[in-house]
Chains A and B, each alone.
Chain A
Amino acid sequence: MAETIAQADKLLTAEFMHQLDKLDVMSRKMLRGKTQGERRSKKKGQSVEFADYRSYVVGDDLRHIDWNLYARLDKLFLRLFMEEEDLSVSIVLDITKSMDFGEPNKLLYAKRVAAALGYIGLTHYNRVNLYTFADTITDMALGMRGRRPIPRMLKFLEGQQAIEGEHVSGNLASVCKRLAMIQRQPGVIILLSDFFDKGDMADALRYLGGDKHDVYTIQLLAPQEVDPAKGNILGDLRLRDIEDGDIAEVSVSPALLRRYKANLQAYCHHVREQCLKRGVAYMISETDVPFETLVLKYLRQRGLLG
């Protein structure tokens, strides 16, 4: 946690921000924006790009009548142009205590990824919303657009700490339900979490599925979680859950370690299956992968950035 604070001011370096300027958040769907932006919309509108003709009806703006066509055909036709709108990018960050674990720390890693994605969204005049959650949504920064709110966004992220408390454990289902209610504007939702949730994953994703949103999930795991031997998990141990204080007594043997790894793999597979079933894009990353590599390489490969 100390590391989280100490390195908070280094969530993004100037050099890295320069590299991010070339990227934009991509959506797999054509979503409706709220205000005019840089992204093509389903609506016809005010841009310079010609789209179609239609017959004139009473009440139409006379400025859009194609007078040349009227001269030739003696009929009134209206010229239609493409509309460009902004994109809503919602970054949802898990700040349960389970995220404040591992070396490199998962929460710090997640905050960096969130900062990078938020920065990209803001530089392209997208509407960026930030949410943090533990057992429910704990904090949010909404409606940021353009370069101006970048410091605000970074400050918001830097200020996020893992939620202390014995019984504050993640409840993804209630979080997703609440998010669906708050985030009515269609857009891209990026969910950053370790997904160590004891509830039902399918139930949670149900609220975010559908055509309204384009949802990406990024599962973050610490190297110590992937291979417990790296975390000195050996011998006869009393394992205590950092979130809910749950106890598991184990005598770690090679067979048990094998079983744990198989379970982890099966669990990640389960999360991925549930995501794909709901049309949610799924990515997994270990925190020992440099986050620059994740942003510049893997997220581009998966189509979130372009």
Chain B
Amino acid sequence: MGFLSPITALIAAGIAIPLLVSLYFLKLRRRQVMISSTLLWKKAIQDMQVNSPFQRLRKSLLLLLQLLILGALLFAMARPTLETVASPGQRVVIVIDHSASMNATDISPTRLDEAKEAAIELIDNLNAVGESDGSSEAAGGAMVVSFAQGARVRQSLSNDPAKLRDAVRRIEPTDQVSQLGPALNLIEPYIQAISDDESDKLVVYIISDGRVLGGGQTMSLAGAELRYIPIGGGPGGMAGAADPDNLGIISFSARRDFDKPEIVQVFARVANFGSKSVSANLTLTLDGQVSRVQPIKLQPAPPRTDSATPSTSTNHIASVQFDFVLPGSALVQLSHDYDDQLTSDNTVRLTLAPARRLRVLLVTRGNTFLAKGIQSAGVRQLSFMTPEKFEDQDPVSLRRGGWDAAGASGLAGEGFDVIVFDAYSPTTTPKVDSLYFASAPPIQAIKRIPSNEDDPASQRILTWERDHPLLRYVVLDDVILSQPGRLVVSSQATVMATGQSGPIMAEVVQDGVRHVVASFDILKSNWPIKVSFPVFLGNTVQTLGLGGLADDAGIAYRTGEIATIPMDTAGSLTYTGPVPLSVIRTQGTAVLPVFTRVGLYNADKKINPPFDRLGVNLLAPEESDIRTADILNVSSVAAGTTAKTSTFRREVWRWFIWAALAVMLIEWLIYTRRMHL
């Protein structure tokens, strides 16, 4: 601590303190009281030695308090200063992480609260910069940005510390993963604007625990100085924080057996991110009833390493599997009973969909390869229709009547899950997900152009989207097509494969119905005899027929995802849960807002399972690992805690004025109490 004007204060002290003490001697105006004898009082006074002036001062609490008040005022007069870390530049961006890991309680009450405190302290310091320069304008202002899965500007560049503090306080916790990229992209235009505007350098403070997706990768942010303020315990964390201790469920899924769909297998992985061994019990519940309890014991997590050399040790991770028979729908919940510092990954849940197998309609004039291929894809029933018969059908009756809650055996209901058109383009667009070979639906988004006579007799497929769900494990480089034709697709469509004359496979979603179109006739190719053919049909029929349930037997979401709910009835839909969600139905589906908190969301009206109960989980190892990172790689230089800082002398005379007022209040209380003892 230093002083700006110590001489003035010393002179004032030289005058005021003796004055106060002498006033104290003079000030007493005693009330006269007659007593029977002063004999005993004099003796008592002698004992107490109150008559001695310095003894009296020693015993006088009031004088002591008055001296304290005077001392505080004199201190204030000396203009004490504290050295604080502040921005040498004038403008500051405060980026606060409010992802799931920031809810860890290794710092009381949570890391997010600590981060907010740190941000407010920064804002106070900025304010002080302005004061020291003599004008509030000189502070240049600050901007507040919060980020988790996405980033949001909470307060644009402002000079008003009250607004900035308020913006910081309004940042609410989420259970999303954190991605720094969007935040940096968000503030980049501001940096450009400022660097065009002035020569000042912008300082970006990232207040986070460093558990950031892509934190290991370098992200660029030119023209700004980045500083990382780590929050939380761990090797790179704050002094005094508790050692991070978290046991998290990092993956969770359920599958139904391919042949016996009533058999359900639930898989989960549990990881210990603490520094000590952990024993816990995993509890699996079905609709609230405890089904299984399994004890686990996990080793401490290995020290964190850079992403370039990931740790190979897996002793801190346990994989568990639960098998049970359940044909219907149920809420499956898995939780552990270990008392750790992050609660959002302690329980995961998913809604198990009823077991079902597919009904597929093949509209063809005869195609054995296709029929065999579809049958091998695990369908319950394959129906055949000629194009003429198909045209006679009521398009509404073709649609399967929703999910069957009764289970696998009672697959009642008319209609089909998937329709496969073989070399026939229907005149009306069916309301069922469809696969087209050498044909196309009558929609604008996609058109099939047949091959010209002068096109090459045989073509190969040049490229295909290996990451597309329908083309997983599908290799098309040995497929030879004869007169494949080509597709003309709009921007809504996704091209899946491209031949020599253009796109030959594409997917388009219109009015909630998926259409997968291949421009070629499989009978004019060698594809049916290749291994990739049944694999493609299996992928396509399962994905089209079951949607998201093709891989998973249940529905569960992660925070940051968006849920699309199929609805038959019109009107609004509300889910109650950790955060209420509501949406107005559009075109047969309702799209819910992004999930921010984990938990179970229940629909307010009758909806077919599994969409009546939506489980939202964290399932992010990066977030469950709450050990604070000591370095954040952003731009070409790492934003470490050791980043160069400059100090600034901040005046703190206000504190002493407040202290003087507080002591004055105490003095008044003691005085009144003494007078009315």
- Assembled-state Cα–Cα distance A211/B37 (Å): 33
Q: List, in ascending order, chain B residues with CB within 8 A of A135's CB.
A: none
Q: Choose among A106, A239, A243, A267 the residue that contacts B33 (Cβ–Cβ < 8 A).
A: A239
Is A5 on the interface with B (CB-CB < 8 A)?
Answer: no
Contact between A238 and B32 (Cβ–Cβ < 8 Å)?
Answer: yes
Expressed in whole angstroms, the minimum distance between the Cβ of A240 and any Cβ of chain B is 5
- Assembled-state Cα–Cα distance A65/B42 (Å): 71
Name, among B29, B31, B32, B36, the residue most crowded by chain A CB atoms within 10 Å (CB to CB). Answer: B36
Q: Mark B546-561, 1 if CB is under 8 A from A, else 0.
A: 0000000000000000
Q: Choose among A229, A233, A241, A247 the residue that contacts B37 (Cβ–Cβ < 8 A).
A: A241
Is A55 on the interface with B (CB-CB < 8 A)?
Answer: no
Contact between A236 and B36 (Cβ–Cβ < 8 Å)?
Answer: no
Question: Would you list which residues of chain A between 237 and 251 have a CB under 8 Å from chain B?
Answer: 237-243, 246-251
Contact between A248 and B45 (Cβ–Cβ < 8 Å)?
Answer: yes
Is B59 on the interface with A (CB-CB < 8 A)?
Answer: yes
Is B606 on the interface with A (CB-CB < 8 A)?
Answer: no
Segment of A16-24, A44-52, A258-266, A273-281 engaged in the interface with chain B: A258-266
Contact between A194 and B31 (Cβ–Cβ < 8 Å)?
Answer: no
Is B44 on the interface with A (CB-CB < 8 A)?
Answer: yes
- Assembled-state Cα–Cα distance A237/B677 (Å): 14
Q: List, in ascending order, chain B residues with CB within 8 A of A260's CB.
A: 40-41, 44
Is A173 on the interface with B (CB-CB < 8 A)?
Answer: no
Contact between A251 and B50 (Cβ–Cβ < 8 Å)?
Answer: yes
Contact between A263 and B33 (Cβ–Cβ < 8 Å)?
Answer: no
Q: Choose among B28, B59, B677 the residue that contacts A236 (Cβ–Cβ < 8 A).
A: B28
Expressed in whole angstroms, the minimum distance between the Cβ of B47 and any Cβ of chain A is 5
In the A-B complex, list the 7 residue pairs whose CB atoms are closest, starting with the nearest.
A196-B37, A238-B30, A98-B36, A101-B36, A241-B38, A259-B44, A248-B38
Q: Mark A47-67, 1 if CB is under 8 A from B, else 0.
A: 000000000000000000000
Expressed in whole angstroms, the minimum distance between the Cβ of A250 and any Cβ of chain B is 6
Q: Choose among A242, A253, A259 the residue that contacts B59 (Cβ–Cβ < 8 A).
A: A253
Is A182 on the interface with B (CB-CB < 8 A)?
Answer: no
Q: Mark A76-107, 1 if CB is under 8 A from B, else 0.
A: 00000000000000000000001101100010
Would you list 16 pairs from A and B whose C-beta atoms are within 8 A, ordered by A residue?
A101-B35, A196-B39, A232-B33, A236-B30, A236-B31, A237-B30, A237-B31, A239-B38, A242-B35, A246-B42, A248-B38, A248-B41, A248-B42, A251-B56, A255-B59, A256-B45
Q: List, in ascending order, chain B residues with CB within 8 A of A246's CB.
A: 38, 42
Expressed in whole angstroms, the minimum distance between the Cβ of A127 and any Cβ of chain B is 33
Q: Footprint of A on B, CB under 8 Å?
A: 28-45, 47-48, 50-51, 56, 59, 674-675, 677
- Assembled-state Cα–Cα distance A253/B28 (Å): 15
Contact between A263 and B43 (Cβ–Cβ < 8 Å)?
Answer: yes
- Assembled-state Cα–Cα distance A242/B39 (Å): 11
Given A237-B30, A237-B32, verify A98-B47 contact (CB < 8 Å).
Answer: no
- Assembled-state Cα–Cα distance A248/B30 (Å): 11
Q: List, in ascending order, chain B residues with CB within 8 A of A159's CB.
A: none
- Assembled-state Cα–Cα distance A149/B47 (Å): 51
Q: List, in ascending order, chain A residues with CB within 8 A of B40's CB.
A: 260, 263-264, 267
- Assembled-state Cα–Cα distance A239/B33 (Å): 5
Q: Footprint of B on A, CB under 8 Å?
A: 98-99, 101-102, 106, 194, 196, 198, 222, 225, 228-229, 231-243, 246-251, 253, 255-256, 259-260, 263-264, 267
Which residue of chain A has its CB nearest to the CB of B28?
Answer: A236
Q: List, in ascending order, chain B residues with CB within 8 A of A267's CB.
A: 39-40
Contact between A256 and B50 (Cβ–Cβ < 8 Å)?
Answer: yes
Q: List, in ascending order, chain A residues with CB within 8 A of B29's CB.
A: 236
Contact between B33 and A233 (Cβ–Cβ < 8 Å)?
Answer: yes
Q: Choose among B30, B39, B47 the residue that contacts A249 (Cβ–Cβ < 8 A).
A: B30
Expressed in whole angstroms, the minimum distance between the Cβ of B432 and any Cβ of chain A is 93
Q: List, in ascending order, chain A residues with CB within 8 A of B38's CB.
A: 239-241, 246-248
Q: List, in ascending order, chain A residues with CB within 8 A of B43's CB.
A: 263
Contact between B41 and A250 (Cβ–Cβ < 8 Å)?
Answer: yes
Which residue of chain B has its CB nearest to the CB of A234?
Answer: B677
Q: List, in ascending order, chain A residues with CB within 8 A of B47's CB.
A: 259, 263
Contact between A198 and B39 (Cβ–Cβ < 8 Å)?
Answer: yes
Contact between A256 and B32 (Cβ–Cβ < 8 Å)?
Answer: no
- Assembled-state Cα–Cα distance A99/B37 (Å): 10
Contact between A237 and B33 (Cβ–Cβ < 8 Å)?
Answer: yes
- Assembled-state Cα–Cα distance A253/B47 (Å): 13
Which residue of chain A has its CB nearest to the CB of B56?
Answer: A251
Which residue of chain B has its CB nearest to the CB of A259?
Answer: B44
- Assembled-state Cα–Cα distance A187/B618 (Å): 106
Given A235-B674, A237-B30, A251-B56, verify A263-B44 contact (CB < 8 Å).
Answer: yes
Contact between B33 and A194 (Cβ–Cβ < 8 Å)?
Answer: no
Contact between B36 and A235 (Cβ–Cβ < 8 Å)?
Answer: no
Q: List, in ascending order, chain A residues with CB within 8 A of B51's CB.
A: 249
- Assembled-state Cα–Cα distance A253/B42 (Å): 15
Which residue of chain B has its CB nearest to the CB of A228?
Answer: B35
Q: List, in ascending order, chain B residues with CB within 8 A of A241's CB.
A: 35-39
- Assembled-state Cα–Cα distance A98/B40 (Å): 13
- Assembled-state Cα–Cα distance A231/B40 (Å): 15
Q: Choose among B33, B36, B39, B56 the residue that contacts A238 (Cβ–Cβ < 8 A).
A: B33
Contact between A239 and B36 (Cβ–Cβ < 8 Å)?
Answer: no
- Assembled-state Cα–Cα distance A253/B673 (Å): 12
Q: Choose among A198, A225, A242 the residue that contacts B34 (Cβ–Cβ < 8 A).
A: A242
- Assembled-state Cα–Cα distance A198/B36 (Å): 12
Which residue of chain A has its CB nearest to the CB of B47?
Answer: A259
Q: List, in ascending order, chain B residues with CB within 8 A of A248's CB.
A: 38, 41-42, 45
Given A235-B31, A236-B31, A263-B40, verify A250-B674 contact (CB < 8 Å).
Answer: no
Q: List, in ascending order, chain B residues with CB within 8 A of A194's CB.
A: 36-37
Contact between A102 and B30 (Cβ–Cβ < 8 Å)?
Answer: no
Expressed in whole angstroms, the minimum distance between the Cβ of B23 and any Cβ of chain A is 15
- Assembled-state Cα–Cα distance A239/B51 (Å): 14
Contact between B50 and A239 (Cβ–Cβ < 8 Å)?
Answer: no
Extra A-B contacts (12), CB below 8 Å, given A196-B37, A242-B36: A102-B36, A222-B36, A234-B675, A235-B674, A238-B33, A239-B38, A241-B39, A249-B51, A250-B41, A259-B44, A259-B48, A263-B43
Q: List, in ascending order, chain B residues with CB within 8 A of A238's CB.
A: 30-33
Which residue of chain B has its CB nearest to the CB of A222?
Answer: B36
Which residue of chain B has its CB nearest to the CB of A235?
Answer: B675
Which residue of chain B has its CB nearest to the CB of A100?
Answer: B36
Which residue of chain B has its CB nearest to the CB of A267?
Answer: B40
- Assembled-state Cα–Cα distance A264/B39 (Å): 9
Contact between A240 and B32 (Cβ–Cβ < 8 Å)?
Answer: yes
Contact between A98 and B32 (Cβ–Cβ < 8 Å)?
Answer: no
- Assembled-state Cα–Cα distance A170/B109 (Å): 74
Name, among B44, B56, B677, the residue most crowded by chain A CB atoms within 10 Å (CB to CB). Answer: B44
Contact between B32 and A250 (Cβ–Cβ < 8 Å)?
Answer: no
Given A236-B30, A237-B30, A249-B30, verify A243-B50 contact (CB < 8 Å).
Answer: no
Which residue of chain A has its CB nearest to the CB of B40?
Answer: A263
Which residue of chain B has its CB nearest to the CB of A196?
Answer: B37
Contact between A239 and B41 (Cβ–Cβ < 8 Å)?
Answer: yes
- Assembled-state Cα–Cα distance A231/B50 (Å): 22
Expressed in whole angstroms, the minimum distance between the Cβ of A251 and any Cβ of chain B is 6
- Assembled-state Cα–Cα distance A74/B50 (Å): 89
- Assembled-state Cα–Cα distance A78/B312 (Å): 136
- Assembled-state Cα–Cα distance A260/B33 (Å): 16
Q: List, in ascending order, chain A residues with CB within 8 A of B36's CB.
A: 98-99, 101-102, 106, 194, 196, 222, 225, 241-243
Which residue of chain B has its CB nearest to the CB of A264?
Answer: B40
Expressed in whole angstroms, the minimum distance between the Cβ of A271 and any Cβ of chain B is 12
Expressed in whole angstroms, the minimum distance between the Cβ of B51 and any Cβ of chain A is 8
- Assembled-state Cα–Cα distance A255/B45 (Å): 11
Which residue of chain B has its CB nearest to the CB of A97?
Answer: B36
Q: List, in ascending order, chain B residues with CB within 8 A of A235's CB.
A: 31, 674-675, 677
- Assembled-state Cα–Cα distance A251/B51 (Å): 10
Expressed in whole angstroms, the minimum distance between the Cβ of B87 and any Cβ of chain A is 55
- Assembled-state Cα–Cα distance A240/B34 (Å): 5
Q: Choose among A233, A236, A249 the residue that contacts B35 (Cβ–Cβ < 8 A).
A: A233
Expressed in whole angstroms, the minimum distance between the Cβ of B623 and any Cβ of chain A is 61
- Assembled-state Cα–Cα distance A124/B675 (Å): 56
Which residue of chain B has its CB nearest to the CB of A257?
Answer: B44
Contact between B35 and A239 (Cβ–Cβ < 8 Å)?
Answer: yes
